Amino acid sequence: MTGHRASLLVVEDDRLHADQLRWALDEEYEVRFATDVDAALAALDHAEPDLLLLDLCLPPEMSPEAGFRILGAARARHPDAVVVVMSALEERDQALRAIDSGAYDFFSKPVDVPALRVVLTRALERRNLERENRRLHDDLARRYCTNEIVGVSAPIQKVHEAIHRVCDVPVTVLIEGESGTGKELVARAIHFSGSRRSGPFVALHCAALPESLVESELFGHERGAFTGAETARTGRFEAAHGGTLFLDEVSTLPLAVQVKLLRVIEERAVTRLGSNQPRPIDIRLVVATNEDLDAMVQRREFREDLLYRIRGFPIRLPALRDRREDIPLLADHFLLRASAERGGPALRFDADARLELERRAWPGNVRELQHVVESLAFTVQGQVIGARDLPPAAGLPLAGSAEELPSDFKEAMRLHERRLLERALARTGGVKARAARELGLDPAQMKYLVRKHGLR
């Protein structure tokens, strides 16, 4: 711990032994002592120790039950405190019972002081690690709860309501929406808003995987299951046990894998490649797609029975153009976060910039807007971002653009998406990674879109 010494409460009735521990530990820890049950309980009421070094046999009972009373009180009042038990040789069984009751370790008396120092150091490291893990988990929960889904429009309020309705319902969720609308953010909000929040959240972007690896990635494999399988591997279903598995772009799964996915959903068990042993799983499944799955069923590209199983609770995410009143709020949200990362004074948009952002089409949706705002935060000089600072290509086509597009909305969006990709690839000499960065896409999304539009 930085800045101060950790606190250590030693509960020991043997004065000579207590003096030995004081001499050995006083330079490393803020040491307090208690010599009986009442004094120990009073010390626990007064302050939370980082570490508790506890003898089991204490006055007035002079039996192990005295130590267990203190151990129980410490675990109830200060769950973060790490308890190390000291015991005479004949009380070893009781010390093992103490481990089962929540103690970190135990020592036979007389204590080996160098060994005790090592154990106390490790115990404190574990305590700090557990605290840091909880802090990170709480940060994730705050980040991915519904207040990160910014907006006041009616469509986005419906999304909020859907998340609250389904977060504790054990049903498969299908999130539909265009690329960049925030499908993974909604999946994480469902996870962190519900009773599974303490379990793992495991995400898999199906479009990013070659067909040869999809089954192994999903279901795992045993050693020797196929050429190159030198060790056994846990699949994503097993990794998500007790939590949530999010499958993005589920429409890209091969039909053969769809059959196995349906079986896993129905049986609530997964069988690794190369094994005949089903492994029970307890997961919440959330899937997402930007494709029309009903149309894919008609084209026999997606299994109808699987669609029925994953459409337990559908959530449709609105495109950014369908909630324009949210664009200034989102832009301010991203700018505030980017300003904090950049350091220095906070940035803001002027009125003209906010109007310009709101009137653009944003075919890349929230992801495109976020990428543009974050770029502005690191490139614009001064504290105010004006309309003239906005990149001309951001959010095209502009309202009233003279660019000729088909009158059919879906076909117009498809054509514009293709043009954006073609222009980015042309500017970057066909280097997909650079084009993806320029468009604010991750490699998996770029790979999917290139394949979708038949580009090379």
Is residue 121 domain-resident? yes
At 91 the pLDDT is 61
* CATH number of the domain encompassing residue 64: 3.40.50.2300
Q: At residue 394, does pLDDT exceed 90?
A: no
* 104 occurs within a structural domain: yes
Work out the angle at residue 292's Cα, subtended by the Cα atoms of residues 413 and 267, and round it to the nearest 5 degrees. Answer: 150
Q: Are residues 89 and 159 in the same domain?
A: no
Say whether both 181 and 282 belong to one domain.
yes
Q: Which residues contact 189 (CB under 8 A, 6 or more apart)?
A: 144, 145, 146, 148, 149, 163, 167
Evaluate if residue 399 carries a pLDDT over 50.
Answer: no
163 is a domain residue: yes
For residue 145, how far is the Cα from the chain centroid? 11
Rounded to 5, what percent of the chain is helix, strand, coil?
50, 15, 35
Q: Which of 20-24, 398-402, 404-408 has the lowest mean pLDDT?
A: 398-402
Task: Tell me what percent of the residues of the chain surpass a pLDDT of 70.
Answer: 90
CATH of the domain at 415: 1.10.10
Kindly report which listed range (144-148, 210-214, 381-385, 434-438) carries the lowest average pLDDT score: 144-148
Q: Are residues 331 and 308 in the same domain?
A: no
Q: How many domains does the chain have?
A: 4
pLDDT confidence bin for 1, thresholds 50/70/90: very low
Q: Do 82 and 48 have their domain in common?
A: yes
Do 243 and 280 fall within a single domain? yes
Give me the chain's average pLDDT, please. Answer: 85
Res 132: pLDDT: 75
Angle between helices 92-100 and 64-77 (to 10 degrees): 20
What is the CATH classification number for the domain harbouring 362?
1.10.8.60
Q: What is the pLDDT of residues 33-83, one digit of tens each?
A: 998 889 989 999 888 899 999 888 888 888 788 888 899 898 888 888 889
Q: pLDDT digits over 226-244, tens only?
A: 887 788 889 999 999 999 9
Closest CA to 289 of 162, 175, 155: 175
Please indicate, yes or no, if residue 334 is contained in any of the structural domains.
Answer: yes
Q: Are residues 257 and 366 in the same domain?
A: no
Contact 392, 430 (CB under 8 A): no
Is 2 part of any domain? no
Domain coverage including residue 341:
320-403
CATH number for 221 = 3.40.50.300
- Are residue 258 and residue 301 in the same domain, yes or no? yes
Task: Identify the domain boundary among 318, 351, 383.
Answer: 318
Same domain, residue pair 35 and 92 = yes
1 within some domain: no
Please indicate, yes or no, whether residues 257 and 325 belong to a single structural domain of this protein.
Answer: no
Assess whether 154 and 291 both reside in one domain.
Answer: yes
The model's pTM is: 0.61
Instruction: Assess whether pLDDT exceeds 70 at residue 403.
Output: no
Whether residue 454 is contained in a domain is answered as yes
In a domain, 145, yes or no: no
Domain endpoint, select from 260, 290, 318: 318
pLDDT, position 316 = 96
Quote the distance between the C-alpha of residue 415 and its chain's center: 35
Residue range 158-178: mean pLDDT, rounded: 94
Check residue 110 and give its pLDDT: 77
Q: Assess whether 159 and 292 both reside in one domain.
A: yes
Same domain for 159 and 302? yes
Write the CB contacts of 86 (distance below 8 Å, at least 6 apart in sequence): 12, 53, 54, 55, 56, 106, 107, 108, 109, 111
